[in-house]
Amino acid sequence: MAKTNGKRNRAAGHGWEREIIKLLNEVGYDNLATSRNESRLRDAQKIDVVRVDELKNGRLPYNIQAKSVTGHLKYGLLLSELPVDNGITNVIFHKQTEKHGTRFLLKDKFAILYLKDFLAIMKRLNEQNPAK
């Protein structure tokens, strides 16, 4: 039974990573891949979504870790495990599910980051299009 749950959890996690890439493509980020397929270094740093060929296409300005789990996560711990790079924002993308019988149903989706990073993003956006 544990192997079946492990396979399901692994498949759910990989599916969430692919969904994140699709969502980022829809808002204008291109040349994305899972670190599993693209970069052993980024994968070892617990980063799940990266740009393909960073030397050619530039680095994604976010270190994204994808989590698809039931319940709650220790966000502070997860964020602290990501590398600290100037100009790169660490973000946890959490797909929270609930188990109903044998099925897992979506509860909600979250993007978690440090408050200082969120405020820096707000400041950059305001400089581009000042609030009234």
Predicted confidence (pLDDT) per residue in 1-41, tens digit: 445 677 878 888 899 999 999 999 999 999 999 999 999 99
Q: pLDDT tens digits for 37-69?
A: 999 999 999 999 999 999 999 999 999 999 999
Compute the half-sphere exposure of residue 114: CA atoms within 13 Å on the CB side of its CA.
16
- pTM exceeds 0.95: no
Query: What is the arithmetic mean of pLDDT over 58-81?
Result: 94
111-120's contacts with Cβ under 8 Å and 24+ in sequence apart are: 112/73, 112/75, 112/78, 112/79, 113/79, 113/89, 114/79, 114/90, 117/89, 117/90, 117/91, 120/89
